[in-house]
Structure formats: structure tokens, C-alpha cells
Structure 1
Amino acid sequence: MDQSNYSSLHGFILLGFFDHPKLETILSGVVTVFYLITLVGNTAVILASLLDSHLHTPMYFFLRNLSFLDLCFTTSTVPQMLVSLWGPDKTISYVGCVIQLYVYTWLGSSECLLLAVMSYDRFTAICKPLHYFIIMNSHLCLKMIIMVWSISLANSVILCTLTLNLPRCGNNLLDHFLCEFSAMVKIACVDTTTVEMSVFALGIAIVLTPLILILISYGYIAKAVLRMKTKAGQRKAMNTCGSHLTVVSVFYGTVIYMYLQPGNSASKDRGKFLTLFYTIVTPSLNPLIYTLRNKDMKVALRKLMRVPQKSSKKKRNWKS
């Protein structure tokens, strides 16, 4: 049999933390808890913002998309991850690995761009409040979301196709607990410099460019806040931006450390723990961060926990 086709026929073996079985048992419990928090928290945010007519605004439209994105992102990896951590079967089919790689990369890229779009929404709300609903109309918001998903999909197709086309010479042992890009590149049996340079260039475009746009937006926001005459206005502006800034800091800090650094600068185990944080912890924190600092969301969640009220039938206040 041609060894180059071995992984295509038999899939991959996810090593994970196979040499630390007790650690795998602990991690399986931790992953399960955070996954349940992610499912409950993000589903609650989506339902609360949909059912409460007061939250039919661009800000909550993007927040719903972020919650939906986080739900899909964790679900694309966690079930398979738990199977690998729970028992002796650590294999994943070739098709399953390919799907996971494409979806994982697509959704991760989408979150980078979506956070940049959300920063533009906050910039418009604070720096141009009188024209906010005219600028951020429903058509523009929908176009932005389509753009986010389309650009991210193109990035995923290019990046993952380059990775999967690398010959592996029969090596099907992935030193990870999911089909992640860097782990796939490491098992290639040829020089991967060209692929790594391509990935770095795409990383600049997908990760750093949105981050720069976010920083520019918040530079203008900071100027507008400092010009406000009342402390109440400043507090309100900072409250609406504080949640988003916190999410941006946690998300981008992890991603930049993971992907925009020299390949051998971090230990293998540290990279795995960072992937865990990026995959399960961050999506579970997002709904908590947004709800703890947001009075309107707290009210909507209280309504969600009660019997559905007539308020959900009111007309939307989001002008198109």
C-alpha cells in the first residue's frame, strides 16, 4: 500500500495528553462543564435578544451573531475532543478531520472579523449618535455579516487546502486533541516554509488588520468620551464599550500568542492548553462578559426566565 495514502484511508490518531491519563480525565470534566456553560449562556443571549423588542438594534444583532458563532465553534470541536479524552479510542476519520479543520478555521477567522465589525458599530454609536440608526441600518448590518462569513470562508479554503495538500508519508499521528492547523503542518514530510509564510500573510490579513481597525475605532471613541461634559455620559459610553474591549483582549491575546509567533517558541503542551482556552473558555466567557455589564441584557434574561410576555410582539425599533 502507498504510505502517502495511509491517513486518507485510516484517518488520524489524536495523541492529546495520552502520556498523562489522569490529566485527560480532569480535562474531560473541565471541558464538559465549560461546554455546557457555553451552550446555555450563548443560547440564552440569542433567545433573550430575539424575544425582547428593545434589543432589536444593530448592537444586539451583532451580539446574536457572535453567540451563534461561539456555539458553532465549540460544537465543531468539543464532542470529538470529549470522545478522545474519555476513552481509549483517539481516532478520527480522514473526512471528519478535514471537515473539522475547515470549519474550525472558518469560524475562528469569522470571530476576528466580527469583533472588528462590532467595534465599528460602537464607534458609530458614540461618535455619531444622531446618525446611528441611519448609518447602521439593517441592510448595512446584513451586508457586513455576509462579508464576514464570506471572507472567512475564503481564508479557510485557501489555508486548509494548502495544509491538506502537504505530503505526510504515512504519518497519521497528530500531537493534539483536534485537527488543528499547526498540528497538521508538523506531520508533513517536506519543507513547509512556503505554507507557513502563506499562513503568516493570511494571519496578518485576518488577525492583525481587524485588530488595527479595532484600535483605530477605540482611539476615536476615547476622544469622543473625553469630550463629553457629563460623567454620566462617559460612564454610559464606557459601559457599552467595556464588554467588547474585554472580549477583544481575551480573544486576540490568545490568538496572537498561538499563531503569530515563531513555530518552536512555545512548548507543545502549552500550545494545547492555549487551544483549549481559545476553544472552550473564551466562548463560555463571552455571554457572561456581555450580560454582567449590560442592564438591558439582564432585564431581557429575567423576562426569558419567566412566562413569555406581550412585549415580544411590539414593533421593532431598528430602522431600516
Structure 2
Amino acid sequence: METANDSSGDFILVGFSERPELELVLSLFVSVFYTITLGGNTAIILLSLLDSRLHTPMYFFLRNLSFLDLCFTTSIVPQMLVNIWGGSKKISYSGCMVQYWVALALGSTECVLLAVMAVDRYVAVCWPLRYAMIMHPRLCHLLGAASWTGGFANSLLQSSLAMVLPRCGNHRVDHFFCELLVIVKLSCVDTGPTESKMFIARLIILAMPVSIILTSYGFIAQAVVKIRSADGRKKAFGTCASHLLVVSLFYGTIMFVYLQPKNNYSQDQGKALAVLYTILAPTLNPLIYTLRNNDVKKAVRKVMGKEQA
């Protein structure tokens, strides 16, 4: 018999099982994009390590972003595919707890890391002659460490608040992974105070990086306007365009899911948006950063032996 504060037993990940005709198509879609994510992000990491021309602050942070995306999708997608193809929708209590803690930690880390990358682009555009001196390796490593520390600290705080809530035997998770907000809704007590604390934590981890990004690009826009050469403006904008696309894709979906009023939240809508930021965004990130990037193309040719170092 399950107790009022049952903290054991398997969870049932409902996923898209209520629409079985959609599951097969979705599983194929997810499999293809997950494969591309693994290949694209691994390639960026290896290229940025093997080619000395990519040993710059920008590619240091991009390497962190690629590693983060690899971990983020791997924490969700394999379990999702097992649940779809295997028939069983179960995930153990410990597995679910680890999944929502890791997923939230990595998502929070990306919030901070994208802000750090915006600052890097600000220094590159507004202080080009002092860029190497300002963004020295030690500072880059400190900023990278701060991103990971801040993300995991935020997850630890919110996960701790969720873990103490009694579920009274409610194990049916209406999502395709153990997402923290959905787990909180399983509680059989008033979650208002807990959700308010979590909302404040989410607001901080989202609002502060967004403020930094907007401020950085405000200064960048002012600097670009002052550039007289059309080629100079195009080059300055080109260094920022990729990052802006990634920021828009990531923050657009995350803020819509996590900062909208509780009464307006639709679970089906939440699942669809979760597919965007957990599967589609990590796939597009390496493509966005490399598709028109001459440095990366040169690195590929070098690694393949088609260009001399």
C-alpha cells in the first residue's frame, strides 16, 4: 500500500501515448535529430580542439555549449525512445529524480552561458584591439566555470524544493521526460508557496542573463552604427548573427514555457515546446554556428588533410 508521502516506485511517463499514431513519426523525427545532434556537436568540439586557429574565447565557449547540448539531449532522448519503442512507459524513482535534476541544471547552465557568449561578442565588436587582453584564458575559464556552477546551483535549489513535496502515490507524469514543473503538480498538497519560490528562482536565472544579453547587444548596435564601412558593418554583424539566432530559439521557447501564468499553461503545448528546446535547438546550434563560418570550414579541410596548417 502506498503511503501519503510515497517517495518510491516507478513513474509512468505518459509522453504522447494518448496519440499513438503520432508516436512512431515522432520517434523517427527524434532519432534523426538526435543523431545529427551527436555528430554536429561532437564535430565542433573536436575541431575546436584540433585546430589551433579555433583556440579563441569564442570557440572555447562554443565548445562548452556543444558539450552541454550533448549532455542535455542525452539525458532525455534515449529514455524517451526506450519508452516509445519498448512499450513500457516506466522510469524508476531515482532515474526520474536524476533526469529532472540534470535537465534543469544543464538548461540553467545554457541560460548563463549564452549571456557569457554575448559579453564575449560585445568585447570582440566594441573593443577589438583589446579583445585578446580582456578575454584572456583565465577569465574565459572563470566565466565558463561560473556558468556551470550557477546552472547546477539553481537546479539544486529547485530540485530540493520539489523533492520534499508528498505525492500520495501519484506517479503518472504527463510528459515525455521528468520535467520539474510536472513533477511538482503530482503533489497532493498546496504547492503554491513552493511554486512561488521556484518562479523567483526561474526569474533570476532567466532575467539576469537576458538583461546582460540585451545590454551587450545594445552596445554592439551602437558600435556597428558608427562603423562607416559597409564591409565592416557586415563583418561585425556576422560575428553576432549566429549567437542571436541561438539566443532567440532557446529563450523564446524557455520563457514561454516557464514564465507564463499558471492558468494559461497547456500541457500539450508544453510538450510541443519542450520538443523544440530539448531536441530541435541542440541540433540547430552547430548548424547555425558553422554553416557560414569560414574558420570552421578551414578547420574541416585541415583535419581532412586538404589544407596545409
- Report the TM-score range of the alignment, normalised by the length of the smaller protein: over 0.9
Instruction: Map Cα deviations across residues 57-94 of structure 1 (whole Å, 9 max, x no partner).
Output: 00110011100100000001110011112231100001
Q: CA–CA distance in 2 between the matches of 1:225 and 1:22?
A: 50
CA RMSD in angstroms, aligned pairs only: 1.3
Say whether the 8 Å CA contact 1:81–1:178 is kept in structure 2.
Answer: yes
Relative contact order (C-alpha < 8 Å, sep 6+): which is higher? 1
Q: CA–CA distance in 2 between the matches of 1:194 and 1:293?
A: 48
1:23 equivalent in structure 2:
22
Instruction: Map Cα deviations across residues 13-53 of structure 1 (whole Å, 9 max, x no partner).
Output: 11111111111111111110110010011011111111111
Q: CA–CA distance in 1 between the matches of 2:179 and 2:265?
A: 16
The unaligned stretches of length 5 or more in structure 2 are none
Structure 1 residue 204 displacement after superposition? 1.4
Say whether the 8 Å CA contact 2:33–2:280 is kept in structure 1.
Answer: yes
Q: CA–CA distance in 1 between the matches of 2:93 and 2:188?
A: 18
SS at match of 2:228: coil
2:171 equivalent in structure 1:
172
2:88 equivalent in structure 1:
89
Q: Which amino acid aligns with 2:4?
A: S
1:222 equivalent in structure 2:
221
Q: CA–CA distance in 2 between the matches of 1:136 and 1:118?
A: 11
2:4 equivalent in structure 1:
4
Structure 1 residue 118 displacement after superposition? 0.2
Q: CA–CA distance in 1 between the matches of 2:195 and 2:265?
A: 16
Instruction: Map Cα deviations across residues 181-236 of structure 1 (whole Å, 9 max, x no partner).
Output: 11101111111111111111111110111011100000000000111121111110
SS at match of 2:145: helix
- After TM superposition, the runs of 4+ consecutive aligned structure 1 residues lying more than 2 A away are 1-6, 301-304, 307-311
Q: CA–CA distance in 1 between the matches of 2:47 and 2:262?
A: 42
Q: CA–CA distance in 1 between the matches of 2:262 and 2:85?
A: 29
SS at match of 2:17: coil
Q: Which amino acid aligns with 1:291?
A: T
Pairing 1:173-212 to 2, within 5 Å after superposition: 173-212=172-211
Structure 1 residue 302 displacement after superposition? 3.1
State whether structure 2 residue 28 is matched by structure 1 residue 58.
no
Say whether the 8 Å CA contact 1:167–1:189 is kept in structure 2.
Answer: yes
Identity value in percent: 55
Q: CA–CA distance in 2 between the matches of 1:82 and 1:208?
A: 33
State whether structure 2 residue 113 is matched by structure 1 residue 114.
yes
2:258 equivalent in structure 1:
259
Say whether the 8 Å CA contact 1:14–1:91 is kept in structure 2.
Answer: yes
Say whether the 8 Å CA contact 2:27–2:81 is kept in structure 1.
Answer: yes
Q: CA–CA distance in 2 between the matches of 1:51 and 1:202?
A: 39
Say whether the 8 Å CA contact 2:165–2:189 is kept in structure 1.
Answer: yes
Instruction: Map Cα deviations across residues 259-282 of structure 1 (whole Å, 9 max, x no partner).
Output: 000123132111111111110000
Pairing 1:211-250 to 2, within 5 Å after superposition: 211-250=210-249
2:293 equivalent in structure 1:
294
Q: Which amino acid aligns with 2:223?
A: A
Q: Which amino acid aligns with 1:132?
A: Y
Say whether the 8 Å CA contact 1:73–1:104 is kept in structure 2.
Answer: yes
Q: How many residues align?
A: 309
Structure 1 residue 133 displacement after superposition? 0.6
Say whether the 8 Å CA contact 2:162–2:183 is kept in structure 1.
Answer: yes
Q: CA–CA distance in 2 between the matches of 1:88 and 1:137?
A: 51
Instruction: Map Cα deviations across residues 130-168 of structure 1 (whole Å, 9 max, x no partner).
Output: 111111000000000111111111111110111121110
Q: CA–CA distance in 2 between the matches of 1:77 and 1:5?
A: 27
Q: CA–CA distance in 2 between the matches of 1:223 and 1:43?
A: 36
Say whether the 8 Å CA contact 1:243–1:293 is kept in structure 2.
Answer: no
